[in-house]
Structure 1
Amino acid sequence: MPRNQEYVNPLVEQRADPWVYKHSDGYYYFTASVPEYDRIEVRRSLTLEGLADAVPAVAWRKYETGMLSANIWAPEIHYISGKWYIYFAAAHTTETKEGLFDHRMYVLENDAANPLEGEWIEKGQVKTAWESFALDATTFQHKGVLYYVWAQKDPEIPGNSNLYISEMSNPWTLQGKQTMISTPQYPWEVIGFSVNEGAAVIKRNGRIFISYSASATDYNYCMGLLAADEDSDLLDAASWSKSPEPVFCTSEENGQYGPGHNSFTVNEHGEDVLIYHARNYKEITGDPLYDPNRHTRAQVFRWNADGTPNFGVPVKDSQLKR
């Protein structure tokens, strides 16, 4: 088996918040935030490298006004009980523009075998305990239960967003209690903004790990890690422990800044791969959210002797050619 597969990075340019899902049909499915924040695209390839040149299909476009009309962020594509689902966040436009960063979470459904085909149906907003800023939802199944993990602003807690978990009664509806499992508490989580967001789940070595991203979306952006025993009550906040240090962050030496908002996949050789975005420069003019050059990257990662993931440092932009 080849070891330490190298990828031509960036893998996909100007695609932030990248999500890659490898399906049973052998294809890698990819979606991410586009710089215009106005649509959701899906592309697929039989190899990770092939995603770079795969032709995207537009699954959905934002509305012109009202709800679902601005800042379409961080789509994820999942396959649940024989259907495809895309989870994403959207804001709304108003006469005063004040709603541009007041996101809510939504779901699309497609029953086609190939999600680049068929029709994407709006299943509506995922309702949580509050009507407040919410985004970056992901789902995972464990012991027959479908879970939802997301970032949201609790109106009673200072800061921008915390991480929550809940069971789902179906892929667009929460049921039962909603538990906060992480809030920004360490210095590296509160630079610029007090943020925990962009959760992604990987199960290994008897534990469930949730990576997430913290701080502002400039060079301070970095990844943290939560862990719970696979036999614990995942809805009990006490089941989750947090790494006191970031697990993936800016590498000045390698010219990679603000790595984060990741997903996990497995390559053709069975190696675990971290998919993430980062910029290759530090200084940004204007609002980082409107700088389009958060590029999708991929790199193989290993596991420590204690069973925790070791993501290493973000690799340099590649000198390899496709």
Structure 2
Amino acid sequence: MIKPLIEQRADPYIYKHTDGNYYFIASVPEYDRLELRRASTIAGLVDAEKITVWTKPDSGPYSDLIWAPEIHHVHIEGQQPTWAIYFAAAPSREIKHDLFQHRMYALTTTDADPMQAEWSLQQVDSGIDSFCLDATVFTHQGKHYYLWAQKGPDIPGNSNLYIAEMDSPTTIVGEPVLLTKPEYDWEVIGFLVNEGPAVIKKNGRIFIGYSASATNHNYCMGLLWADENADLLNPASWEKSPVPVLQSCYERGIYGPGHNSFTVSEDGSEDILVFHARTYTEIVGDPLWDPNRHTFVKTICWNHEGFPEFGKPSEP
């Protein structure tokens, strides 16, 4: 039976840097700060020192519900290598009375050590003025891409996945491209959601794992993929699994697996899935305020066709 790696940390992101260290960041139950930890092994992250790199202000446009941070080291040709922490934040209630008015932000620094850095904050504008969150970035064939979830204009539901090219760690160029919207039965339970994208490249393809439905036991993972030589900004380049690739395991009590990210083992020989899940289904009150979404990790298997097989969330 798999056990949580780190308890009470949702939306987990583990990044292995070129210095050999793993960097871990996630949503904290209070949704009030960005907390970073570092270790030389994945297991070492459990007891690693937690550094608060940013705390939300008491009021203003980014002072509530700090969600889903990711840390990346971005190096765009001709620009300084930059550490960037992407996250979503909502305005204080006196500004917007509707709870879910998140926009995307980034903390950046060109300091070498993110654990001791001076950070600067700015908004990342997607070009669409609506609820947005869950940004990730990746580089492919010399181009840099921004990938995120957003409520789309004239599209029913809560969030869809969009992609755009980047010309700096905090700006995109061109129009956002819609990659997927909730359409299958397993994507629309409770809420119509496609969110939490994460990228892994393997076997000549670009894969995007993402999450769907409400954040209770119905939460699950979907999968998109494109050929590595395709135009990633062309929606026709992408295919979508008609079935979820990771979902609740009722037999062993791991529920609502999702908001995944990817990392690698210490020796680089294995790909690792990082995700959060709960160990019970009876949630008192709003699932948003239930603190017990825990961080799990498990090894990814690859089949003979070159596709990832995630198995059950309860399997180590």
Partner residue of 2:288? 289
Whole-Å Cα distance in 1 between the matches of residues 58 and 48 of structure 2? 28
Partner residue of 1:53? 47
| Structure 2 residues without counterparts, runs of 5 or longer | 76-80
Shift of 1:155: 2.8
Equivalent of 2:260 in 255, 259, 262: 262
Whole-Å Cα distance in 1 between the matches of residues 235 and 96 of structure 2? 36
Preserved contact between residue 196 and residue 260 of structure 2 (Cα < 8 Å) = yes
SS in 1 for 2:63: strand
The runs of at least 4 aligned residues of structure 1 exceeding 3 Å deviation read: none
Partner residue of 2:32? 38
Preserved contact between residue 72 and residue 88 of structure 1 (Cα < 8 Å) = yes
Report the TM-score when normalising by structure 2: 0.96
Whole-Å Cα distance in 1 between the matches of residues 171 and 57 of structure 2? 23
| Structure 1 residues without counterparts, runs of 5 or longer | 1-5
Percent identity, aligned pairs only, is 59
Equivalent of 1:181 in 157, 179, 188: 179
Partner residue of 2:99? 100
Q: Closer, same or farther in 2 for the Cα pair 1:96/1:60, shift >3 Å? A: closer
1:274 aligns with 2:273: yes
Whole-Å Cα distance in 1 between the matches of residues 38 and 9 of structure 2? 15
1:29 aligns with 2:28: no
Whole-Å Cα distance in 1 between the matches of residues 111 and 5 of structure 2? 27
Shift of 1:112: 2.1
Partner residue of 1:3? none
Preserved contact between residue 15 and residue 295 of structure 1 (Cα < 8 Å) = yes
Preserved contact between residue 223 and residue 247 of structure 1 (Cα < 8 Å) = yes
SS in 1 for 2:288: helix
Whole-Å Cα distance in 1 between the matches of residues 109 and 21 of structure 2? 17
SS in 1 for 2:256: strand
Partner residue of 2:139? 141
SS in 1 for 2:101: coil
Report the TM-score when normalising by structure 1: 0.94
Whole-Å Cα distance in 2 between the matches of residues 120 and 34 of structure 1? 19
Give CA deviations for 1:3-51 in whole Å, capped at 9, x if unaligned. Answer: xxx9x72101100000000001110000000000000011010010011
Counterparts of residues 165-180 of structure 1 (less than 5 Å) = 165-180=163-178
Preserved contact between residue 93 and residue 99 of structure 1 (Cα < 8 Å) = no
Look up the equivalent residue of 2:113 and give its one-letter code.
Answer: N
